[in-house]
Structure 1
Amino acid sequence: MKVTIGQRELEMGSKYLTELRSSNDIWEDTEALRARLAEDGYLLIRGFHDRERVLSARMDFLRKLQAMGRLDPHAPLEEGVISKENKGGMWGGSAEELQADFPHFLEVVNHPSVMSFFDRLLGGKSMTYDYKWPRAIAHGGNTGAHYDVVYMGRGTKNVYTMWTPFGDTPLELGTLAMCLGSQHYDKIKQTYGEMDVDRDNVATGWFSEDPVEIVDTYGGQWATTAFEAGDVIIFGMYMMHTSLNNRTNRFRISSDTRYQLASEPVDERWIGHKPKGHYAWGKTPQKSVADARKEWGV
């Protein structure tokens, strides 16, 4: 099967793209989960969330998109068919800000089962950032390859992203893809990985929009899979990831949420009653990623 990432078409099973592996086989073995996370850079867990809870939250997002005029009025609401304007939705904000429009969302990502899992995985009391990142990706949309640390690296580096798709998500809808081995790209970690988008004001914050260039230059292999409602993928701040292009006429709805030990330093931009978020990025003329990479020598 062929998929598209940015301007590149990749073949599943080629040197550039393979299948993510599930960690459900070691679900009850905490040490094995930690070892798998260190080895693979991610944990794919099928059925992590209650499916019906996820689908209830999906309907909240669809009703919001409908109110915004972003859905095809002639198609069933639950299908999430994109209107002819092909505009997506980004709803980043605090729990309080999101609760009114998406009452079932926090029931998924802040659920006691989620927090107890991170308590177990991290070996102590965990916390989640107050700021959350739910979004709806329209036709053609995708995200360039990046490390999350450049957006949220001011506290501990032991922060973990949980990517949750709100609905069954086949490859053509635009699934997340991990770059296997990228947590060991030492030169990139020491240069790009030290960037702070608010301090350095580099456009997009993405390292590259070309998945082939990354593999050819630095090694590794991209990996993705089809997801069902309830599945998640969890990964650290130095795991390069991207998304496949949404090649359908339906929205891909998903969220990024972050978790860490409560005892470790927290990036102040993402916590509190009304987190300040990215306060400087994009406010002045930005440096291009290409220029920044020349300076870094990567």
Structure 2
Amino acid sequence: MVELIIEQRRRSLGGGMEVGRVLPFPKRRMVGPYIFFDHIGPVDVPAGVDRRIDVRPHPHIGLSTVTYLFSGEIMHRDSLGYEQAIRPKEVNWMTAGRGITHSERFEHARVHGDHLHGIQAWVALPVEFEETAPSFSHHACADLPQWSDGGVHGQVIAGSAYGLTSGVVTHSPQFYVHLDMERGATTEIPGGYRERAVYIASGAVELRGVTYGAGKMLVLDERPAWIWALERSSVMLLGGDPVGERFLYWNFVSSSRERLEQAAADWKAGRMKLPDADDAEFIPLPAERPEPAPAMS
């Protein structure tokens, strides 16, 4: 039933910002096409916070990023010219394809203070779409189907689950769902996908008589599975069909080691366009370049 339990590992992003890194994990690099999963916060950000908390412009290739917030606000700017704030239960879906750059800044928090809590995930693109043209889309509630049943309040972020399909354009079979579960509520995990996982963002759930608390990802086999909320809980469900082996270095994902090397060289040489509205600074290529590690389900 539960093949693997992955505990989040705390990572500092600088400026007092921490995330809980879940994927990739040495024993499980991917779940379906999901190759990266960071739990942002929860953290109280005071008004006037130092700009070091911001994520300066940086590049991506070969993936789609999806940012989803439970609370707070982040401002996105990218090299295609998009400038879009993301707020709770909305989606910023950015497909890097052959290359894009973007920044994520906490401008609302600097003025008003904020309680920041959310998830950023990366979805590896199938080989035939790795070099597709970059794109960005923002989706509010009308594009993200919602339902409530028996104390479970759900939203389909991407793909198809529970008989509903998100308006977000994806490139491979997958599902990504947010469940807000009242105490005592129960639900079945969507089936029909080769790989699935449950992440408990807050609260605690029970699966097959075992209790799991916040900060844990449960990687499941293909058999039917139900979860029961032992208290008010926020749960993310994700998975899909595998897309094959991927190599991951810094912000780059590819089925080719050579393509990662080219992306790194392009960024270092300044050949990747910065966002027009945010081009005064950027994150340099890391000085030490570890051997790109393969990532596969």
TM-score calculated relative to the size of structure 2: 0.28
Bigger RCO of structures 1 and 2 (CA < 8 A, at least 6 apart): 1
> Larger strand proportion, structure 1 or 2?
2
> Larger helix proportion, structure 1 or 2?
1
TM-score calculated relative to the size of structure 1: 0.28
